Amino acid sequence: MAAERRGPLAGLRVVEMAGLAPGPFAAMMLADMGAEVLRIDRPDPAARPIPQQYWFTDRNRRSIALDLKSADGAAFARRLIGSADALIEGFRPGVMERLGLGPDECLAINPRLVYGRMTGWGQEGPLAQAPGHDINYIALAGVLDAIGLADGPPVLPLNLVGDFGGGGMYLAFGLACGLIEAARSGQGQVVDAAMVDGAASLMTYFYGYMAGGKWPGRGRSTLGGAAPHYGVYETKDGKYVSVGSAEPKFYAELLRITGLDREPVPDRANPASWSELRERLAAVFRTRTRDEWSGLLESAEVCFAPVLDLREAAAHPHNVARRTFIEIDGHVQPAPAPRFSRTPSARPEAGVAPGVDARAALQGWGLPGEEVDALVARGVIS
């Protein structure tokens, strides 16, 4: 992996304790922005459902395989942490403490360290030690009940809200905030990022509607799919388009282009008319293919976009022009985001298998080659 790091976080060093989903995603975000992230993997990592070259959230990082349960392994981890700016760990509360790598130990050797903790339920509370997954965290935060049709069960939004939105992104944000504060004060601190907290935070807008007496419940709001002018419609070829004509001017243009303005249509201001209006719109959208509707509506003042699958999204002209997706070693994946005018991120490099580049990783961290060889010979590093 190239030694040069570019981006707004270039010069920062982060130790990442290998984990699942949200922790690696946060580490990817920091690495995409230029931070030098060193991942500490287990000597016997669990098997993954897809080969390493497709594990895109591992990109831009080096890896060493270290047995943290051994005294030598934990001691060496403390040495690395002593020269880091931040740490990411995603174990259950108490695990890092039992390894001798808890916040007290790490901040004692590195007072400026920003210690990032990623869990589902948080570091304390009645459920802190309970197992869980994304679905459970967003359920408890009030998110899951809000998504889906009014007459159906809640719908899972993949694991975007808990693992990645409420988890990894909030951890990355918390670490960035902690690093800014540490630069001012010279003191580190613990960042307690819980997916249930982050998922709840993402719902702030809707909790405001509830407080104001305007939250109608799952599937009954405009943004929840109740309004016919804000929804998804099937096209002639069995594909789908999205319409977001919430404002009057956009809705008027939608009626004009679809031809529905040539005859009386139900009043969209009256929710009692929404069912009939939806049927009228559905019938119109079934008269053309998705791509035909895209040709008519994509650049119009309507608020429209075709519903694309993953491959189609990467090939769409707008995403191509924006370089929203990039190709690394022949594999298409989302590009680093957001973008910076003066300190742009470098092109990401593919992730590596656990421990595969330990020598380069540790030499990049400042350890001489002969010391690395000695650590390998002693079995501290696999």
Cis, bond preceding 264 (omega within 30 deg of 0): no
What contacts 286, CB < 8 A, 6 or more positions away? 233, 234, 235, 236
Catalytic residue (choose from 32, 41, 134, 163)? 163
Distance of alpha carbon 80 from its chain centroid, rounded?
A: 27
What whole-number distance in Å separates Cα of residue 189 and Cα of residue 103? 8
What contacts 319, CB < 8 A, 6 or more positions away? 313, 325
DSSP letter at 161? I
Q: Is 163 a catalytic residue?
A: yes
What whole-number distance in Å separates Cα of residue 58 and Cα of residue 25? 8
Q: Is 316 a catalytic residue?
A: no
What contacts 266, CB < 8 A, 6 or more positions away? 273, 274, 276, 277, 280
* Structure-token pair, residue 309: 């699958």
- Catalogue the active-site residues: 133, 163
